[in-house]
Amino acid sequence: MSDFILETNQLTKRYSRRILAVDGLDLQIPKGQVFGLLGPNGSGKTTTLGMILGVVSKTSGSFSWFGQGEDYKLRKNIGAILEQPNFYPFLSARQNLVVHSRIKDIRNPDFDGLLKMVGLYERGNDPFKTYSLGMKQRLAIASAMLADPEVLIFDEPTNGLDPQGIAEIRKIILNIRDMEKSIVLASHLLDEVQKVCSHFAVLRRGKKIYSGSVDEALNSTHSISVGANNMMQLKQELSSCDGIHNMEEFADSFRLQVDERWTTAKLNKYLVERNIEINYIEQKRSSLEEKFLQILSEDHTARVNPPTPTAL
């Protein structure tokens, strides 16, 4: 049995000569991760999930579940929510789960346990049509868990929900993680990926441009805000510093994106040694939004200014 729940090799989907939805995607997702596919709308997230679930035909490349290839029978170990789930509006949540269990040929599922897990036990006998959007999404998660799968796949699970609904879905996902399940989650909501995922990949125009752990991404760059009596002198000195990736100017300070070599203490000492009088300095942990924007900016720069080929 492979250590990876999912591997893709140059997975590609082309809808037409002009539309390349997924472009040579390579992924390796180990067991136990909450893995986020992050990217703006149209970046290829849903198409990727569709291919690995066998509901969208791939153009080229391959994928493998649990080291056993693309066999459709492996889907029994995977629970998924790809689109708006189909439930019968006049049936209750419990009755809908019974129907879904029969369709999926799942014997003796724990309906009470599933309804309790998603916070619908008290409303389990109420018609589905009376449910809020958040309740409907929670029932979809219960349905995906009917077979007690090893892997859960969620496509934009909090899309359209209010803050309370988002918090409820987040709590359920974290509870599923604690049950030692592996989760693949596609989202364009940076805050949700930061709070839920352990690892993530960034897609842009169908191509993977970054992959790594959330903690490493947030720790690789952080921001420091600094101000001085002489802002012109401060700007000149900061512009020549290695390890400063971006400098945003405000009326009385600069906000710097710096790597791990710089702390407030080190930067303060560096500037004082150069006779710059600091009147304000503060370090802040970067958000995934800042890292995401940095990744997109670096990718754009790389595409606009490709490296010059080395002459042979």
One digit per residue, pLDDT tens: the chain, 312 residues?
578 999 999 999 999 999 999 999 999 999 999 999 998 888 999 999 999 999 999 999 999 999 999 998 898 899 999 877 789 999 999 999 999 999 999 989 999 999 999 999 999 999 999 999 999 999 999 999 999 999 999 999 998 899 999 999 999 999 999 999 999 999 988 888 889 999 999 998 999 988 989 887 776 667 899 999 999 999 999 998 988 888 989 999 998 988 878 889 999 999 999 999 999 999 876 667 666 766 766 666 666 566 555 443
Residue 200 shares a structural domain with residue 280: no
Supply the pTM of this predicted model. 0.78
Predicted local confidence at residue 312, as pLDDT: 36
Nearest to 289 by CA among 91, 38, 53, 10: 38
Whether 174 maps to a domain, the answer reads yes
- Residue at token pair 């490709």: 306
Predicted local confidence at residue 276, as pLDDT: 94
- Could you tell me how many residues make up the chain? 312
Residue 22 shares a structural domain with residue 132: yes
Residue 55 shares a structural domain with residue 189: yes
Residue 144 shares a structural domain with residue 167: yes
Residue 188 shares a structural domain with residue 244: no
What are the strands, taking DSSP E only, across the chain?
4-14, 20-30, 34-38, 60-65, 78-81, 151-155, 182-187, 199-204, 207-213, 221-228, 244-249, 254-259, 278-284
Residue 248, φ and ψ in degrees, nearest 5: -105, 125
Residue 43 shares a structural domain with residue 156: yes
Residue-number span of the structural domain to which 280 is assigned: 220-289
Whether 90 maps to a domain, the answer reads yes
Whether 61 maps to a domain, the answer reads yes
Whether 32 maps to a domain, the answer reads yes
CATH number where 269 lies: 3.30.70.980
| Cα distances (Å, whole numbers) of residue 50 to 57, 257, 274 | 8, 37, 57
Residue 134 shares a structural domain with residue 22: yes
Predicted local confidence at residue 46, as pLDDT: 94
- The string over 11-47, giving b where at least 16 C-beta atoms fall within 10 Å of a residue's C-beta and e elsewhere, is bbbeeeeeebbbbebebebebebbbbbbbeeebbbbb
| Cα distances (Å, whole numbers) of residue 158 to 33, 193, 202, 240 | 19, 11, 18, 44
Residue 105 shares a structural domain with residue 172: yes
Tokens representing 3 are 């250590």
Residue 255 shares a structural domain with residue 199: no
Whether 213 maps to a domain, the answer reads no
Residue 60 shares a structural domain with residue 169: yes
Whether 185 maps to a domain, the answer reads yes
Residue 96 shares a structural domain with residue 170: yes
Predicted local confidence at residue 293, as pLDDT: 67
Whether 312 maps to a domain, the answer reads no
Total domain count for the chain? 2
Whether 211 maps to a domain, the answer reads no
Last residue of a domain, one of 157, 177, 205: 205
Last residue of a domain, one of 205, 231, 247: 205
Last residue of a domain, one of 205, 232, 266: 205
Predicted local confidence at residue 311, as pLDDT: 44
CATH number where 10 lies: 3.40.50.300
Residue 104 shares a structural domain with residue 137: yes
Contact 66, 1 (CB under 8 A): yes
